[in-house]
Amino acid sequence: MTAYFAPTRDMQFVIDELAGLNEVAALPVFAEQEISPELVEAVLEEAAKLAAEVLAPLNKTGDIQGAKIGPEGVIPADGFADAYRKFIDGGWNGLGSPVEHGGQGLPELINTATQEMWNSANMSFALCPMLNNGAIEAICQAGSPEQKALYLPKMISGEWTGTMNLTESQAGSDLSAVRTRAVPEGDHYRLFGQKIFITWGDHNLTPNTIHLVLARTPDAPEGVKGISLFIVPKFLVNADGSLGPRNDVHAVSLEHKLGIHASPTCVMAFGDQNGAIGYLVGEENKGLAYMFIMMNEARFKVGLQGLAIGERAYQAAREYAKDRTQGRPVGVKSGDRVTIIHHPDVRRMLMTMKAQNEAMRALAYVTARHMDLARHHPDPVVSRTHQARVDILIPVVKGWETELGIEIASLGVQVHGGMGFVEETGACQHLRDSRIATIYEGTTGIQAADLAGRKLSMDQGAAMRALLAEIEATAEDLSQAAGDDLATIHTSLREGILTLTAATEWILASRDPNAIMAVSVNYLMLVGYVCGGWQMARAARVAQSKLMTGQDPLFHEAKLITARFYAEHVLPRASALLRSVQHGGVSIMALTEEQF
């Protein structure tokens, strides 16, 4: 398996030039941090060292060895415990967490770049702090002052980890079917039930694990209106923060998975004996709302996994293509053979990987910027405007980027040729690991249903039209610029705007929910391709300006060419999807059940 080197130069370009670091740094909440491009560069360089030197070397060995379960619980793969200690000793776990609870309080924009690195280097490892961050966010927003004081400092430091316990065998995407019971007993509850697919549900990296668990109280109404959220520690926590006795919760077994072998996916039993002691978060029967705090955090970061695995697969394919000698250049029948990066079809694949990675990175980081402004802008009107943008972009980041992650990892196998189909090169692992990202934390279909069936209708398309207006402004700016590259990008972006406008208006005008849901994934992918084209167009405009002043010509010329490739080879996919959105719903639903 090839080494991983974080693309810090590209990350810095996106943060500074596309995501608007200055605007985020100017928020009052970040005044004491004195956030600057120099600070970002220092953070990225240190994170890159940890990713390359500590996490990435464990990726293949963890895949081979996997996690194990024994009488004492789950044992992670060799090296993970030491890597985790280095991770938390460096303060990385609390990078974006609130200062008042021991975090560093840096913007989500900066945290997002480090999250990309952790997932590129070692996706199995990164899942542990990722789930912890979701639990932290839920307690921050919905927990009592006492719960925050008791749990957050150690979860933010990484001394303890957190999990999400939602899914049951009969309750996957349909959480209304949750059956885990929570029986009140004094100042706490006793929980009885079993949860499945619990990522890092048990391990020995830390002395305690804080489970956030969905369950029903005895008098709860049916459906999602009767779900409550509970804190269930692996070890009970005394008032002074010290650990008490072991709680009645344990891992029953581990799932045997296609990928992410080093991430223990547990079946968790609550209350096999006297009941697992749990503490209500917020109010009874409001657990679904609290759960979505965790879920939205997780969905955004899973979207980053699509980008991260795409970047890792691209780096491996690029290095192999530069090293593998095979054949002569097109039209040359004699002389030395060349490395495969000289062959046009290999270039096509590498450019497809590179361009889509850059588009995904830009869209994800820009979304993180909107998250910072939504959370921290002092003007509530401005905050709500940015939250509306976050609401429509998170399903796109989650759905579109994870789907592209699979495509790019598959292309990585193809670039390797026959060697890509054997485990030796590591290309197989990237493809296997990528496959889960379109499934957990809500499948692509669920993200599409959320976008087309809920987010568009909740404001009658206002947020999407505001987004289209921004894309239109970028296109107008391009029309004023000189050069063949920008002219080509401008033409393609204009077509993308018309395509997205037409698809959006069709969805809004349709009165048939089945027809909307039938084409919702195609709509989501269309939005992704156009938004990616928008960001690549913005990058091209910046790159050309830099080239005119002679700044880093190799880097900025590559930016411009890659953006043109996206406009010519990737963005046109949106036009094909438009026809499917407008006309394809009938055939999807036409067969009877018996005809399948």
Active site residues: 441
Alpha carbons 463 and 476: distance in angstroms, whole number = 20
Q: Find the helix packing angle between 287-323 and 380-416, rounded to 10°.
A: 40
Going by C-alpha positions, the residue among 193, 198, 178 that lies closest to residue 267 is 198
Query: Cβ contacts of residue 29 below 8 Å, gap of 6+?
Result: 105, 376
- Cβ(109)–Cβ(240) under 8 Å? no
Residue 211 in tokens = 């489970």
Is residue 246 helix, strand or coil? strand
Residue 357 in tokens = 């990675």
Going by C-alpha positions, the residue among 391, 230, 444, 408 that lies closest to residue 309 is 408
Alpha carbons 254 and 196: distance in angstroms, whole number = 9
Please report the DSSP string for 406-434 in residue order.
HHHHHHHHHHHGGGGGSGGGSHHHHHHHH
Across 186-319, where does the E strand assignment appear? 188-199, 209-215, 228-233, 235-237, 243-246, 249-254, 265-270, 276-280
* Phi-psi category of residue 514: left, alpha or beta, with phi > 0 → left and psi -120 to 50 → alpha: alpha
Q: Which residue has the tokens 């957190």?
A: 162
Alpha carbons 196 and 265: distance in angstroms, whole number = 8
Alpha carbons 168 and 180: distance in angstroms, whole number = 8
- Cβ(180)–Cβ(232) under 8 Å? no
Alpha carbons 44 and 11: distance in angstroms, whole number = 8
- Cβ(150)–Cβ(179) under 8 Å? no
- Cβ(307)–Cβ(248) under 8 Å? no
